[in-house]
Structure 1
């Protein structure tokens, strides 16, 4: 019985009953890109439910925090946090002053 991959749309024979993707790569890309769509297209909640609002430092989206358990303060998602810090390290490694010259 063949299935269609939820990310790329190719046909594959599942190894497990619940398998949704043809490969680990498709699963990874799905969860990093499409899996976070709820953040990208978030609808503004009613004013009385908003605890705090901030703009993501990486992508610039406005984030509305409505639950006390939600500890986000700078980034809308883990992916944005990773991208921000990854690029920050690259920018810092090319400093002309303050770094060691090898």
Structure 2
């Protein structure tokens, strides 16, 4: 049986019906476009609203005021800051002693 890859549009033979992509590279490209490029809503602060929680973002050090009960943020101001924080963790500085 043969299928067409939805990413690169090449025809490939499948071993079973569960294969959708021609290779792991195409599968990863599709996964990144679907899951990482989503436009996630950023929370806005409303004037004169009751502040439920206040914290400083671990990445950019901005003060975040949470006023919505559905807002579950506790460490980062946005999904972008969270991704950047976990992508590049702080490196330990080793001091050379002479």
> Considering only CA atoms, is the larger Rg found in Structure 1 or Structure 2?
2
Give the TM-score, by structure 2 length.
0.46
Select the structure that is richer in helix.
Answer: 1
Give the TM-score, by structure 1 length.
0.45
